[in-house]
Chain A
Amino acid sequence: MATTLDTHWDNTHEDPGKRAPLVLGGLDYAGVTDSVAGIWESRQPRTWWIVFVLAVIWLLILGGCIFHLFMKGVGVWGNCNPVFWAFDIVNFVFWVGIGHAGTLISAILFLFRQNWRTSINRAAEAMTIFAVICAGMFPGVHIGRIWVFYWLFPIPTEHLAMWPNFRSPLLWDVFAVGTYFTVSLLFWYMGMVPDLATLRDRAKTRVKKIVYGILSLGWTGSVRSWHRYEAAYTILAALSTPLVLSVHTIVSFDFAVSQLPGWHTTIFPPYFVAGAIFSGFAMVVTLLVPARTLYGLQNIITIRHLENMNKIIMATGLMVGMAYAIEFFIAWYGGVQAESFAFQNRAFGNYWWSYWIMVTCNVVIPQLFWIKWCRTTPWFMVIVSLFVNVGMWFERFVITVTSLSRDFVPSSWGFYWPTEVDIMMLIGSFGLFFTMFLLFCRFLPLIAISEVKNVLPRSEQH
C-alpha cells in the first residue's frame, strides 16, 4: 500500500520547484497512527522511568519547600529590601515565557500556513500548559495571605464589600495569565479530541475504553463535525494570536509602567514577546529531540522540523539582541542619568556576571545556527537550546534584580542573594514540569495524528 521512500532523505534541502516532504519513511495514514498510538500502547522505555522518578523526587522537594514557606513565611527566601521581587517573579516570567511557544506554533504558524507545525504542535501545546501551571505557582505562593487568594478575582461578596483595582498591572496579569491558561487548555483539548477518538478505537481494556470514550466526546470524524471543528480551530487560532502577544505584553507592563530605571522602557512589550518565543522554542527543542529518539519518531519529527525551530530560535534571538542594543542606545541618548547608570550597572555593576551570561547565551551562542551542521545535528542543538534556556532565565534575573537593587538613591541600594529554598524551588518547578510532561507522553497522543495525516502528500497513498 505505501510506496517506499528513502528513510535517509535529506528533507532540509528544498528544490524551489518542489516542496520537500514533511513526513519521511514512507509512512501512510495507518503508519502515522501506529507510530503515535504505539507509544501509548507499549510499555514505557526504561529512560522514561528513570527521568520520571527523578522528576517526582524534585516535585516532592518542591512540595516540601512550599510547606516550609507556608509555615515560616517568605523570610525563607532571599528577598530583601529593596529587592522585594526576586526569584519568584524571575521564575514566573521565565515559565510564562516558555509557555508561549505552544500557542505560537498552534495558532500563529497555523495562520501563516506553516504545515510543519503539525508534527510538533501537540507536544508544544502540552508544554505550554504545564509551563503556565509552573508559572502561576510562583506568584500564587508569593501573595502573602494565600488563604484569601480569591480576592484576586472580581467576585461579588457582601462579606468583602471590595473589588480588585482594575487599574493595576498586577491584576491585568491575573486576567492575562488566567485567560491564556484557559484558552490554551481549550485549544489543546479541542485539537486532541479526534486523536483521543483514535486511541478510544484502539483501546484494548475496558477502563481505557471508558476513559478515552468519555474524553473523546463521541467523536466519529463526521465531515459535518470536521467543518465546524475547522471553523472553531481557525477562530481559536485567530483569538490566540493576539492573546499570546498580550500575555507577555502584560507581564512586561508589570515592569514597564513603573518608573524604575531599567524597567520603564517602551520597547518591553514586543521585546518580552520575542524573548518568550525564543525561550519557548528552545524548550520545545530540549524536550522533543530526546522524545523523538526515545519513541522512534524521527520520521514524523524530522530534521527539517528541528531545523525550522532552530531558525526561529535564531531569528527571535536576534530580535532580543536588537532590543538589548536599542535599550542601551536610548539609555545613553535619552540623557537621563539614572537610566544610563542602570544600564552601566547591568553590564559592569555587582551583577555583571549575570548580564554577560545572558548576552552570551541569548545573543552569541545561537549564532552557531548560521552553520547548517549546527542546526541539523540533534545532540548539538539540544546543547544550544539549553544555553538559551539558561540565558533567558538570566535575562529575567538581570531585569528584575539588578534594577531593583540599584535605583535612584544610593541610600536605598541593596544586594540580593538567593537562599537554598529559592534555588530548590526553582529546580523543584522543573520537577513539576517534567512530571506532567512525562505523564502526558505516557497517556495522551504526543503528536497530532489527524493533522499530520493532512499534510501527507496525497499521491503517496496508493
Chain B
Amino acid sequence: MAHSAKPGAVHNHPRNRLVGLMAQFDDPESLVAACEQARRAGYVKLDAHSPFPIHGIDPAIGIRRTRLPFLVLALALGACVFGLWLQYYTNAVDNTAIFPGYRFFISGKPNWSLPANIPVTFEIIVLTSAFTAFLGMWALNRLPRLANPLHRISRFRRATNDRFFLVIEQADEKFDLNRTQQQLEEWGATAIEQIIEDLADRELPRNLKLAGIVLALLLLVPPALIYRAMGTTSRYPRLHVVPDMDVQHKYKAQAIGPNLGDDKNPSYMYGDRRAARPPIPGTVARGQLELDTEYFRGYRESHPTGLFLPRGHAELVLASGTRPMPVLDSDWQDPGHDAPGTAQDASPADGTVVPAEKDWVQEFPSQITVDEALLKRGQQRFEIYCTACHGFDGNGNGLVNQRALALNAQLKAKWTAAKSLHDPTVKVQPIGRIFDTITNGRNTMGPYGRQIPVADRWAIVAYVRALQLTGIQPVVDAPATGPSATDGQPSAVE
C-alpha cells in the first residue's frame, strides 16, 4: 500500500519550495516499468534513483548515450600532440623563447629519437584521458552538489541501499500534484513523498566555510617557510643530508693516500703519501710516445730528442719522493709555457695576441683530411663537449655560462665568462693553438685531452674554424671585410 503524501503541509513556509514528487519502488523491475509508464504519460523532467546501475532503464527513461567518450578522445589526441611537443621542445630544441630547451647528446641517442619518446607520450595520453573521463563525468553529472532536497527525506536514504525511487519534478509541464500522485500509485509505488527544498540549504554552512579558509591559510605556510629560508643566511654550518654524496670515501688519483695507521702513528702505503704512483722515470706507457708533435700537440718540435716525456711528467719525476703533495697545479700547466710564470698571464682576455713562442701548426696535420664528414663529426663532438659553456654557435653564452653568470651576479659563485670563439683574439689564433687549448685547457677552462681522442680534437678544431669563418656574427665588433666565406666548406677552412 502506498503511503499518501500530505499535500500543502510544509511547502507553504516562505523559505520552502516544492521540487516534485518522489515515489518508492521495491525492486528494479517495477521501477523500470514505472519509468516507461511515466514516459508514456508524457513526463519529461523525471529521474530515477537506484543503489546500483540498472541495465535497460536508459531507454525507459529516455537517456541518450553520453558524449563523454568523444570528449575523452578529443583530449587524448590533444595530449598525444602535447606529449610529443613537450619532448621535442625540451630535448631537441635550443634557444627557444622563455625557457630554453636542453639539446645535448645524452646516452648516444639522437636528440629527437621517436622510439624513446613513445613511452612518455603514451603515459601523458593516458593521464589526460583519465582525468578527462573522471572530471568530465562529474561535471556532466553536475556533481559535487552542496545540498540536495532529496537528502532531507529519511526514506531516501535507502536509495543507496535497497530501494528504488522515481522522481517527477514540479517543473514538468504535465505535473499536477494530485494527478501525478495518483498515477504514481497506479504504477505500483509503495510510498510517495513530496520533495521540499529548504532554500537555506543552498548556502554553505558557516563552519564549513571557516574550516575551508583555515585550511587554505595553513596550506600557505609551508611555501612561505621555504620562501623565507631561500632568502636568509645562516651562521651555522650547512646540514648535510645524505652526506656521503658530498664527502665520498674514495681516493683521487693525485691526492693523499689512505692513512693505514691512526692519527698518532700515521702510516701510508707510499713514502710520498700519494694515493697513486707517478710514472717511473724514463719510461713511456705503451702507445704514448707520441713523437709526432704536430699531430699530437699542435706544434712543431724543432729538436725532437730520443727521450721524450709526456707533458707534465717531467715535473712529476722531479717531485717524486722529495716534494709532498699536492703538486697538482703544475700538472695543468700549459706546455706552451715551459718556464713557470712567463706568458701564463698573457691571456687573451686583455685582447693581446698570445706570443707564438711555440711553433703552432697553421695547417691541419697530414693525418687529418678536412672534409664534410670531419666537420660533421666536429660539430657533433663540439655539441657534446663544448656547447654547455661556449654555446651552440660558439658565442660563449652556453647554458652553464648563463647560469654561472647569474650566480656570479648574486655573489654565489666565481666564474670567468666563457670565451666567445668569435672574439678577434681567438680568431687569429693558429689552429695548433686552438688544438692545444682543447687538449690542455686554458685559464679556468679544464683540459679535454683525456676525454676526447686526438682525431676528434682536430675535428672540433675544424668545426671551430668553420664557425669562426661562417657562423653567427661575433658578439664583439665584426670586421666588415672579414673572411666572407659563405659556406662551411673545407676550402674555407684551408
- Co-assembled chains A and B: yes
Q: Which residues of B contact A187 (CB under 8 A)?
A: 130
**B51 and A198 form a contact (CB under 8 A):** yes
Using known A-B contacts A154-B90, A194-B160, determine if residue A171 contacts B120 with beta carbons closer than 8 Å: yes
Q: Does A243 contact B (CB under 8 A)?
A: yes
Q: Does A89 contact B (CB under 8 A)?
A: no
Nearest CB to that of B55 among chain A residues?
A: A454
Using known A-B contacts A144-B245, A450-B52, determine if residue A225 contacts B27 with beta carbons closer than 8 Å: no
Nearest CB to that of B92 among chain A residues?
A: A166
**A201 and B157 form a contact (CB under 8 A):** yes
**A179 and B133 form a contact (CB under 8 A):** no
Q: Which residues of A contact B147 (CB under 8 A)?
A: 218
**B48 and A223 form a contact (CB under 8 A):** yes
CA distance A398 to B137 in the complex (A): 45
Q: Which residues of A contact B372 (CB under 8 A)?
A: none
CA distance A169 to B119 in the complex (A): 9
**B102 and A162 form a contact (CB under 8 A):** yes
Q: Does A60 contact B (CB under 8 A)?
A: no
Chain A nearest CB: distance from B97 CB in Å?
Answer: 11
CA distance A169 to B116 in the complex (A): 8
Complex interface bits, B101-145 against A, C-beta within 8 A gives 1, otherwise 0:
110001101000100110110111011011101101110110111
Q: Which residues of B contact A162 (CB under 8 A)?
A: 102, 399
Nearest CB to that of B110 among chain A residues?
A: A167
**B242 and A454 form a contact (CB under 8 A):** no
**A218 and B148 form a contact (CB under 8 A):** yes
Interface residues on B, range: 35 or more
Complex interface bits, B36-52 against A, C-beta within 8 A gives 1, otherwise 0:
00000000000111111
**B91 and A166 form a contact (CB under 8 A):** yes
Using known A-B contacts A29-B161, A250-B119, determine if residue A70 contacts B241 with beta carbons closer than 8 Å: yes
**A186 and B138 form a contact (CB under 8 A):** no
CA distance A259 to B27 in the complex (A): 63
Q: Does B228 contact A (CB under 8 A)?
A: no
CA distance A235 to B128 in the complex (A): 12
Q: Does A74 contact B (CB under 8 A)?
A: yes
**A175 and B119 form a contact (CB under 8 A):** yes
Select B127's contact among A144, A166, A168, A179, beta carbons within 8 Å: A179
Q: Which residues of B contact A349 (CB under 8 A)?
A: none
**A218 and B161 form a contact (CB under 8 A):** no
Q: Which residues of A contact B68 (CB under 8 A)?
A: 228, 231-232, 235
Chain A nearest CB: distance from B94 CB in Å?
Answer: 11
Q: Which residues of A contact B53 (CB under 8 A)?
A: 223, 226-227, 229-230, 450, 454
**A227 and B63 form a contact (CB under 8 A):** yes
**B137 and A253 form a contact (CB under 8 A):** no
**B126 and A242 form a contact (CB under 8 A):** yes
Select B144's contact among A30, A175, A218, A458, beta carbons within 8 Å: A218
**A221 and B51 form a contact (CB under 8 A):** yes
**A223 and B54 form a contact (CB under 8 A):** yes
Chain B nearest CB: distance from A14 CB in Å?
Answer: 23
Q: Does A266 contact B (CB under 8 A)?
A: no
**A218 and B137 form a contact (CB under 8 A):** no
Nearest CB to that of B144 among chain A residues?
A: A217
**B63 and A246 form a contact (CB under 8 A):** no
Nearest CB to that of A28 among chain B residues?
A: B162
CB neighbors of B among A159-175 (8 A): 161-169, 171-172, 175
Chain A nearest CB: distance from B95 CB in Å?
Answer: 11
CB neighbors of B among A202-219 (8 A): 202, 210, 214, 217-219
Select A182's contact among B130, B145, B160, beta carbons within 8 Å: B130
Nearest CB to that of A249 among chain B residues?
A: B119
Q: Does A220 contact B (CB under 8 A)?
A: yes
CA distance A73 to B243 in the complex (A): 5
CB neighbors of A among B81-105 (8 A): 86-87, 90-91, 98-102
CB neighbors of B among A333-363 (8 A): none
CA distance A202 to B129 in the complex (A): 34
Q: Which residues of A contact B402 (CB under 8 A)?
A: 161
Select A454's contact among B52, B86, B120, B150, beta carbons within 8 Å: B52
Interface residues on A, range: 35 or more
**A201 and B145 form a contact (CB under 8 A):** no
Using known A-B contacts A154-B90, A167-B109, determine if residue A198 contacts B161 with beta carbons closer than 8 Å: yes
CB neighbors of A among B248-271 (8 A): 249
Q: Does B371 contact A (CB under 8 A)?
A: no
Nearest CB to that of A167 among chain B residues?
A: B116
CA distance A146 to B239 in the complex (A): 13
Q: Does A183 contact B (CB under 8 A)?
A: yes
CB neighbors of A among B189-227 (8 A): 208
CA distance A178 to B130 in the complex (A): 13
Q: Does A158 contact B (CB under 8 A)?
A: yes
CA distance A172 to B115 in the complex (A): 12
Q: Does B57 contact A (CB under 8 A)?
A: yes
Q: Does A3 contact B (CB under 8 A)?
A: no
Most buried by B among A164, A182, A225: A225
Using known A-B contacts A30-B161, A147-B241, A243-B126, determine if residue A223 contacts B57 with beta carbons closer than 8 Å: yes
Chain A nearest CB: distance from B459 CB in Å?
Answer: 24
Q: Which residues of A contact B487 (CB under 8 A)?
A: none
CA distance A6 to B162 in the complex (A): 22
Chain A nearest CB: distance from B55 CB in Å?
Answer: 9
CA distance A165 to B113 in the complex (A): 12
Chain B nearest CB: distance from A33 CB in Å?
Answer: 5
Chain B nearest CB: distance from A214 CB in Å?
Answer: 8
Q: Which residues of A contact B141 (CB under 8 A)?
A: 222, 224-225, 228-229
CA distance A453 to B52 in the complex (A): 7
Q: Which residues of A contact B148 (CB under 8 A)?
A: 218, 220
**15 CB < 8 A contacts A-B:** A28-B162, A75-B244, A144-B245, A165-B91, A172-B120, A179-B126, A202-B161, A210-B208, A219-B143, A219-B160, A225-B141, A229-B137, A230-B53, A243-B126, A461-B27
Closest 4 CB pairs of A and B: A73-B244, A29-B162, A232-B137, A163-B90
A interface, CB within 8 angstroms of B: 28-30, 33, 69-75, 144-147, 154, 156-158, 161-169, 171-172, 175-176, 178-179, 182-183, 186-187, 190, 194, 197-198, 200-202, 210, 214, 217-232, 235-236, 239-240, 242-243, 246, 250, 253, 449-451, 453-454, 458, 461-462
